Structure 1
């Protein structure tokens, strides 16, 4: 028993989580296809959802119009003939065929409006059709502004290395940032221990070439953890729910879960480690300020009389080191020479005494002084001979 169209449309709205702006039948052909294939198409948000017929609940294919480059008419308008448009997307070109020119113009207006978020300059529409298109544009702008977030600044190159984290990050190109090569138990543990890092982890499934998604979400009764299977197909991926959801990439899988949780749950991204200490390295000495070590010979005290021995090569501990005196030693005076000098000094002294004396008393004193000096000189001479 087939379900009513009202129930089917309600389930489609639940699966896509996007408002419906326009719908109808058309045919589609990719560049690799030989013939056109018929579809029932719904324009929800800025995406086209293609169904095999009007009774299918889950869409077969999704086309993102935000990446649309151009939409061109293949041939000139003819009222009673089919109209074909060529849509240029980043990876391919798609042809859409409408049953007549009026339907084709209406589809062109909605597709370009939702892709560019503005009305095209030239539209051949009835006043009522134009009013509906303007209302849809207002609703879409409001939806985008509600869910949009400011773009993040570009990530510095020194933070893009995966070696900065200890998590088992995937090295496969094109994978979402929240993909980790972990098991179900490990993923649940990561979400439980680090709730600040996010609540969505994409991981490999136990089935080959398939994936699984672990979700940690807050509910009225507390936090719960759930696991979902994501099956890989030829045309993309299917999220295995009560009503399966088909998407074209794993990034759209993550986006779908974020939309369904009203962006309250974010992909898990491991936090970066920070250092907590600053190490101060010693400053190397400047070459011009380096002080050379003194290279001097040690001087020791003689063990017999306690005098320094300048010729000793051993230095006692605790003693100061004195540099060598390289000045030439003074020549020692001969004893005879010292005696002659002393006698000359006595003679000069005697002359001074005689010249300063005027009376006899002084002369007597001078004689006594001379005797004393003579006695001193004799003692000195005897000492030198000894």
Structure 2
């Protein structure tokens, strides 16, 4: 009996190629690199992704543009026959040098990076009208992407906790968003800067009016999203205010708790690739480390803060400022 014909098998579906705002070859030299390495690079949101080739879907590494500080041009050094164009990306924690083949490519990369970081099309670069149009389209896409996200500097903390975070971790930024203390949909902005050696802490109220956020200053400013609120404070202070972003610490060695059935004791062991069994550090039992608890968001990963001081006849959303003067009051009006 003849068997039914099976349908022809088609090619296995491949993964979708990554979507980039802009992509091309880039030669990259990081702080630990002795020479430039050539990658296929693509700008994806606030990340620059690096691949072995333009056929790869998985990025080898990424640069986080949330840590952006500035861009600057670099003069080529070494051989006089080097006709490439150089520029440098300065982040908070490192500087990365890039080399491209032409001035146009350099200006394109700088333009797209500034567009997604500053949420505006730069006007001080050597760009053609077609390039400006491409960046305007990217600006629209990036604004829509950020409108659907909560800014990374928005944390579920109180006013005092926000002040303490900015005081304890100044290298992570000096601007933080938090829920408003009025119990409504508004938010509050807390900033901390140093003036003549003394800390100056300010709080600003942002009201929710329909689908927009209104910054309650002398001349109220309306923003379509919380990300636009952050961008308002950054751009209107000439980037003196930096959104708070705490770095995450990750373990480099896989460890686990191993229980000894004979004596009932437990030790912290490290997984070994050469041995399928546990490899304890020592024969002497060690105290167990804290049990890790999965956390869903950045604000839950914050380090423990010192206990809150007792307040005198104040609501829980109103606290005594850090400095002696009333520098922690709202700049726009009294409020949480």
- Going by fraction, where is strand more abundant, 1 or 2? 2
Q: Given the two structures, how large is their TM-score scaled by the length of structure 2?
A: 0.43
Q: Of the two, which has the highest radius of gyration? A: 1
- Whichever structure has more helix as a proportion of its residues is 1
- Of structures 1 and 2, the one with the larger relative CO (CA 8 A, separation 6+) is 2
TM score, norm. by length of structure 1: 0.37
